[in-house]
Chain A
Amino acid sequence: MKYPLKTRQIALFFIAFLPTIKFFMLPSVLSKTASEDMWICSVFNLLLDGITLSVILIACKRYKCDFYTLLESHFGKTVARIVFILYFIYFLMKSVLPTIEQKDYIETTLYVTMPNNLYFVPFFLLAFFIACKKLNVIARISDVLWIVTLIGVVILLVMSTSNVDLTNVLPIYANGTKKIVTGSYFALSWFGDCAYLLFFIGNFKWENKSRLKITMGFLIGAFIVIVFMIFFYSVFTSIAFREQFALTEITKYTTVINNTGRIDYLGIMMVIFTDMFSAILPYYFAVHVLDRVLVPKRKWLLPLIVACVLIIITVLLTEFTHTIEKFSVVYAGWFYLTMANVLPIIFCLIPPKEKYNEEYQN
């Protein structure tokens, strides 16, 4: 049997895609809620994701079939379909915020004048192109992008060190559990990356060191996020909540910029580059899960329809952007939590059924 993914690629997937999406609006949202404890909110979210990851890894080891077949063998076709449609809605909702973030970021910081909405349409072309490909495209991209992410992040962090005062995150846990939990709740739409792993079940060969490799990848990604959050708050302290686009803000106080211009954009461009893929990931998986349920003859039809829906939500309904953002951050948290953490844990802890054993173990 040929697998589209390798353990190494899943580990690199977490390094490549986990951090960058959290470098835009999230630090500002968390700072507003939890001030100097904002990084602890991220730790909470990552801890939750880490637990989910370890449970999903049990399923990865246990099952040789994919997630849909697993659901089908346990609960029947109808339940499998319902769950997959729920995941379609989840991924579709999850893809809205990063797309809007990226659009806002590009419009506000990259262009001197406000560009036409047309400038953002090619993003969906890229999304469509990726969504038409099989699962191995994610693996192949991860193989290349992890190093781009790392270099970009290192450039950003190194250039911001001159302004970092780590004591600014003190005292730790000053704002109490409530604010941290609220912050974590608001951040749920940016986290929950382990849900992707559900759809890797049965698509890679479980090896002796698979658990270690994937966990290491996740930990490196998580470490980058936490360091970025700490650096961000250390630089901006009391005005952190006002810095809507953390990415371009963190580096510009370095002395070298006075002499050479904004060379930090080199790192920023790298991070935007990987973020484009990170923002496309939920869309890709939305198409992927719907494709598994509907199994259309024309493979390009679903990516096209989903892309059109996203274009309508993110590009055409610009006057509702604030409402969409508020809905994603404030109200949809429970849905995100259920889909990204609760359901995967429940599904993955269920012991294999006889029907599954008959089909796959022998």
Chain B
Amino acid sequence: MKVHSNLKTNLNYINDKINSDDVATLDVIIGDTLGALIFAKDIVDQTAIGELVLKPLKEFNGTPSMENLDNIFLSPEKRILDNLDETLDSMVNGEAVLLVDGINKVFSFGLRKFEKRAIAEPPTFTVIKGPREGFNESLPVNISLMRRKLKTTDLTFENLKVGKYSKTPVALVYVKGIVDPKLVERLKKRIQEIKVDAVLDSSYITKSLGEHKKSLFKQVGNTEKPDILASKILEGRVGILVDGSPIALSVPYLLIEDFQSPSDYYSSSYSATVSRILRILSVVISLLLPSFFVSAELYHLQLIPLSFLLTIVNSVKGIPLSPSYEMFFTLLIFEILNEASVRMPRYVGMVVSIVGGLVLGETAVTAGIISAPTLMIVAFSGICLYTVPELEQTFSVLRLVYLIIAGGLGAYGLLIFSALLLVYLVTFENYSTPLCAPFSPLIKEDLNDSFYKGFFAEQSTTPKSIQPNDVNCGEDK
């Protein structure tokens, strides 16, 4: 509805639309004319209202008109609105609005004052060397962190709003000249098409950004650290910052990203390469060790060295469960403990680890419910998976699938499933970017920062895996 020149009419409309105790309406007299300042009092800086809006109004002596009033306010963020619905939106977004009788426009002052968390080291991305600052829940703070990292005019933020009720501000961040403009357009379109009631965290957007809705695999990268996001957008990706979420998203996503730890870039190439190979190896071990062990026990005893086989036969004597059941239930217990330790308050979490790790494990072996090798393998597999925490959820599901296949079909089943997985992954594309690049399609230049990490001098170029043109996706144009 258009703003009416009659103050009372406007106030009636506003009161009809919003009737909440945290909204304050302050009557002001401007010369001989009545006015009303309306704001949500808990999200507006009231001192600033007094200094930047009310004080100039008190000192104003002229006739209140658009032209006269326009120049007296000291608030740096000021907008003139002519629509009452828009006025309401800006008000609930932390702006103070001024309505003046006889004027069919509204002054809106951006004087927000949200409570926000201090910038701290994110718990999910701790590093020994390198920057420790992380994003917090405030979009402006996160934008400022990005600006501080990349002092270039090419760094661009595009603001969007998502959520029918939350109207959450979402910012696309990218570096002009590096990013593929078509990618930005596709992302904008996709974000605008998101139909949800509210976006309370960036994960709400993650689900809608993936092109394969039912895929088990990640399709959007995420980070809590501005240095990582800065490096990703310098590689041609688009970052997505969501107000209210400390986790920034990045698109397109490559599987190798999660094997690249932030500390790799702040340590020597040699140690980073060793760490990276260890991470890849750990994930493979974690995925395959329980299933391979079960398949060897059930179908292929010849694959186990004799002395170890004798140890196994010793340890499984008297165990009531078959090897596959035993491994399945031990893994299940591990997952339950994992779930419990994440959800529980910290002080209880300690108890869970002690009870789970020591009491459950030790007594289960002593009581003859599970065998020691199985327990050791599950524990080792669990630890291995945490070398790449970002993929933990995906791979723990895969580990269970592998186990069921191993128990049902043996090693050949494992090979077949691995082949299926391989075909699926190498043909998986998101935003025209192959998930498995730079391995498949093989992009020689990008191998430099894949399973090994080359020297910085060699990494000055933007990776071809995520560049816009199809030439870089391995196939010719």
Contact = CB atoms under 8 A, between A and B. Distances in A.
Do A and B interact?
A: yes
Interface of A: 1-6, 8-9, 12, 106, 110-112, 115, 119-120, 122-123, 125-126, 129-130, 133, 136-137, 139-141, 143-144, 204-205, 260-262, 265, 269, 272-273, 276-277
25 contacts: A3-B475, A4-B475, A5-B475, A6-B441, A9-B474, A110-B411, A110-B412, A112-B301, A119-B410, A122-B409, A126-B423, A129-B424, A130-B423, A139-B474, A140-B434, A140-B436, A143-B439, A144-B436, A204-B476, A205-B476, A261-B308, A262-B302, A269-B411, A273-B418, A273-B419
A359 B461 CA distance: 40
Contact of B427 (A2, A126, A133): A133
**Residue in B308, B413, B427, B477 with the greatest tally of chain A CB atoms within 10 Å:** B427
Interface in B80-96: none
Interface string B321-350: 000000000000000000000000000000
B303 interface: yes
Contacts of B477: 1-3
Contact of A141 (B409, B410, B423, B475): B423
B422 A144 contact: yes
A269 B414 CA distance: 10
B308 to A, nearest CB: 7
Given A12-B442, A112-B301, A137 B423 contact: yes
Interface in B403-443: 409-413, 415-420, 422-424, 426-427, 434, 436, 439-442
A251 B434 CA distance: 38
A277 B412 CA distance: 13
B416 A125 contact: yes
B299 A111 contact: yes
A110 B299 CA distance: 8
A141 B303 contact: no
A119 B422 CA distance: 20
B422 A141 contact: yes
Given A112-B300, A126-B416, A273-B418, A140 B410 contact: no
B413 A122 contact: yes
Given A110-B410, A261-B308, A262-B302, A126 B475 contact: no
Given A143-B440, A144-B440, A111 B300 contact: yes
Q: Is the interface of B mostly helix, strand, loop or mixed?
A: helix
Contacts of A1: 477
B158 interface: no
Q: How large is the interface on B (under 10, 10 to 19, 20 to 34, 35 or more residues)?
A: 35 or more
Contacts of B397: none
Nearest to A107: B412
B415 A262 contact: no
A39 to B, nearest CB: 29
B274 interface: no
B128 interface: no
B470 interface: yes
Contacts of A122: 409, 412-413, 416-417
Given A2-B476, A4-B475, A140 B440 contact: yes
B62 interface: no
B475 A2 contact: yes
User: Which of B412, B442, B474 has most chain A Cβ within 10 Å?
Assistant: B412
Contacts of A129: 420, 423-424
B427 A136 contact: yes
B423 A133 contact: yes
A139 B300 contact: no
Interface string B455-477: 00000000000000010001111
B418 A261 contact: no
Contacts, number: 110
Nearest to A122: B416
A204 B436 CA distance: 21
Contacts of B410: 110-111, 115, 119
Nearest to A207: B476
Main secondary structure of the interface of A (DSSP, over half): helix
Contact of B304 (A3, A139, A261): A261
B409 A119 contact: yes
Contacts of A8: 442
B1 interface: no
Contacts of B424: 129
What are the 3 tightest A-B residue pairs by CB atom distance, in nearest-first order?
A261-B305, A140-B426, A143-B440
Nearest to A120: B412
A260 B306 CA distance: 8
A239 to B, nearest CB: 21
B476 A110 contact: no
B280 to A, nearest CB: 13
Contact of A265 (B299, B303, B308): B303
Contacts of B301: 112
B37 to A, nearest CB: 60
Nearest to A266: B303
Contacts of B420: 125-126, 129
A255 to B, nearest CB: 14
Nearest to A280: B419
Nearest to B439: A144
B474 A6 contact: yes
Contacts of A115: 299, 410
B475 to A, nearest CB: 6
A2 to B, nearest CB: 6
A33 B470 CA distance: 50
A262 B441 contact: no
A143 B427 contact: no
A137 B441 contact: no
Interface string B295-314: 00001111111101000000
B303 A261 contact: yes
A140 B429 CA distance: 12
Contacts of A3: 475-477
Given A141-B422, A272-B415, A273-B415, 5 more contacts: A12-B442, A110-B411, A112-B301, A140-B441, A269-B411
Contacts of A5: 475-476
Interface string B375-416: 000000000000000000000000000000000011111011
A139 B418 CA distance: 18
A275 to B, nearest CB: 10
Contacts of B409: 119, 122
Contacts of B423: 126, 129-130, 133, 137, 141
A169 B143 CA distance: 72
A2 B470 contact: yes
A205 B471 CA distance: 12
A213 to B, nearest CB: 13
Contact of B475 (A6, A112, A260, A276): A6
A137 B306 CA distance: 41
